[in-house]
Amino acid sequence: MPTALDTFVTVTGTYSDMNGRAGYGYVEFIPETQIFEDSVDETMYTKTIFRGRVDAYGKLSLKVPASAQDDLTPPTFTYTVVENVTGMKKRRTNGVNVPANLGSTVPITQLI
């Protein structure tokens, strides 16, 4: 069955300290809207936190919906990104766009 929530982007990244030791922890993408309406299949999507683990090698790979979906209401939105990784102060970045036109995979450094 078709759905309006069909465009995803994989966010990637590598975390390490200045000595080359891998960071570990997690990164969260939190939509800054509470609910989405899907005009294609008439579904209501509630807010979901997308959390990716930073693995033992410091690598992140997290699939999130693109922040512009024509058949969703609202059609555009932003994320709050929370990075909780060893070796760095917990960081929150508000108003992050994840545009689909950057490709199916995008480095987190291009977003925040």
Does residue 5 have a pLDDT over 80? no
pLDDT tens track for 27-59: 999 999 888 888 777 888 888 999 999 999 999
Higher pLDDT, 79 or 87: 79
The arithmetic mean of pLDDT across residues 57-68, rounded, is 94
Residue % of the chain over a pLDDT of 70: 95
| pTM of the predicted model over 0.85 | yes
The CATH code for residues 8-110 is 2.60.40
DSSP the chain: ---S---EEEEEEE-B-TTSPBP-EEEEEEESSSEEEETTTTEEEEP--EEEEE-TTSEEEEEEE-SB-TTEESSB--EEEEEEETTS--EEEEEE---GGG-SEEEGGGT-
Domain edges within the chain = 8-110
